[in-house]
Amino acid sequence: VEKWHSWIGGNKIIIKTDNKNILGQTANFDKKVDRWKVSLQEFDIEYMHIAGEMNPIADELSRKCQNIKMVEETSQNHKIFHIENGHPGIKATIQTFLKFREVSPKEKEEIAKHIKTCFECQIAKDGSPIKYGKLKGKIGKAEILKHLSTDVYGPFSATDFKNENYNNKLFILTITDRGSRLTKIKFTERITSEEFIKFFEQEWVKEYGMPVSILSDRGSCYTAQRTQQYFNKQNVKQIFTSPYNPTGNSISERINQQIGQILMMYKNWKLDVLKVVIENRLNNIHHNSLRDIPVNIVEKYLKDEIKEVKVHADTTKTEKVNERRKAYKFEVDQEVLIKNPCRSKIEPLYVGPFRIISIDRDEQVLILSRGETLIQANIKRVKPFWRR
């Protein structure tokens, strides 16, 4: 009744009972029943006596006992047990059996093999916290102004800021030097190849020249034919992250996080002032991984005082991540499962199996096939599939 107070409070309540003893107001009750009656007095309750044969629902609730099937001490079919008991893991299954009987080494091996190759378990569970395949490489570069990354932040409402040019949704284009971390930004309403190329030439090339490479996700302004033709003509190598792998462009992702924080704190400011604030935050503040300030690094480079930067944190971060990853070599023709990127709460964590048809980029990216479907996936999204 207490749990349903917000639903039944203020309404007329009729309680039907076949127990005449609780209908009397002067009977001697134990303290527990007295507390119940006091709690019920705040409700508008009418008690109605009915015959016992007319009260089968209450009898069923109070007397029904759920039959619990215990693990038999005799030989147990672990395959049936696995299905009947909700697909428990290897250790939990063996430990349950051991509470009732001995489990031979051979049976333990059979149980482990059966559960490891269970299709339902493989697509519905993450499995061991230890993941397969060591991560290699790093996003940061030693060279300065040679290798860039770019991303798009947004959308967000232009009306949250003072401006005379924009009334709709706004985006922020970013270009970052992967060496010094120097960053340029631009507010825009349109995320097109034309807008990106214009921003790139006016804000970056005009001041720092053409880079060697540029890293991005697979947004339409980067994969557009016009953009690819432009970079091919300029001999700039385009590098795309694998799908659903934001850490593949982690430098730009961290830039976006900082931009988001600033936008939250500077609402109602003028956009032209806000652009200065954002670039000040990104370029004029000490960077822990570089142990220097981005504008200082670029200035030293342009004066020929330094040739490259030393990144102090990237290697350590990768090592920490790899502590929870198992050295593993994926092979061509091997079957794997891939993380389900768009799932509801009751859809599987993984989909597949897919077959590896090629391995690219220092064994970090796999090209997978399933029938006519081809998928590119980073090893962070993949785990081996064990077929029976």
- Domain membership of residue 59 (yes or no) is no
Same domain, 88 and 189: no
169-183, 188-202, 280-294: which range is least confident on average?
A: 280-294
The CATH code of the domain that includes 338 is 2.30.30
The answer to the question of residue 284 being in a domain is yes
Say whether both 361 and 214 belong to one domain.
no
Domains in the chain: how many in total?
4
Pair 277, 380 in one domain: no
Which residue has tokens 């806000």? Answer: 274
Nearest by Cα to 151 from 223, 243, 236, 249: 249
Is residue 25 over pLDDT 60? no
CA 152/CA 155 separation, integer angstroms: 9
Which of these, 252, 253, 250, 275, lies nearest to 262 by C-alpha position? 275
Answer yes or no: do 181 and 39 share one domain: no
DSSP 197-261: HHHIIIIIIHHH---SEEEE---HHHHSHHHHHHHHHTTPEEEEPPTT-GGGGHHHHHHHHHHHH
- pLDDT on residue 74: 39
**Residues 193 and 276 occupy one common structural domain:** yes
Residue 163 DSSP symbol: -
Same domain, 308 and 173: yes
Helix (H, G, I), strand (E, B) or coil at 291: coil
Is there a domain that residue 242 lies in?
A: yes
Same-domain pairing of 238 and 361: no
Q: What is the sign, positive or negative, of the torsion defined by CA atoms of 26, 32, 38, 42? A: negative
Print the domain residue range for 111.
Answer: 76-124
**pLDDT single digits (tens) 250-292:** 888 888 989 999 998 898 899 889 999 999 999 999 888 788 8
For residues 192-221, one letter each, b for 16 or more C-beta atoms within 10 angstroms of the residue's C-beta and e for the rest, the string is ebebbbebbeeebeeebebbebbbbbeeeb
- The confidence band for 172, taking pLDDT boundaries of 50, 70 and 90, is very high
For residues 364 and 242, state if they share a domain: no
CATH number for 223: 3.30.420.10
Mean pLDDT computed over 22-51: 70
Same domain (yes/no): 114, 169: no
- Structure token pair of residue 135: 């991560």
Residue 71 belongs to some domain of the structure:
no
Q: Does residue 248 sit in the same domain as residue 342?
A: no
Q: What is the mean pLDDT of the chain?
A: 81
Q: 301 and 161 share a domain? A: yes
Whether 27 has a pLDDT exceeding 60, the answer reads no
Phi and psi torsions of 381, nearest 5°: -105, 5
Looking at the domain assignment, is residue 41 inside a domain?
A: yes
* pTM of the model as a whole: 0.60
Instruction: Give me the phi and psi of 21, to 5 degrees please.
Output: -60, -35
223 in the same domain as 309: yes
pLDDT of residue 1: 62
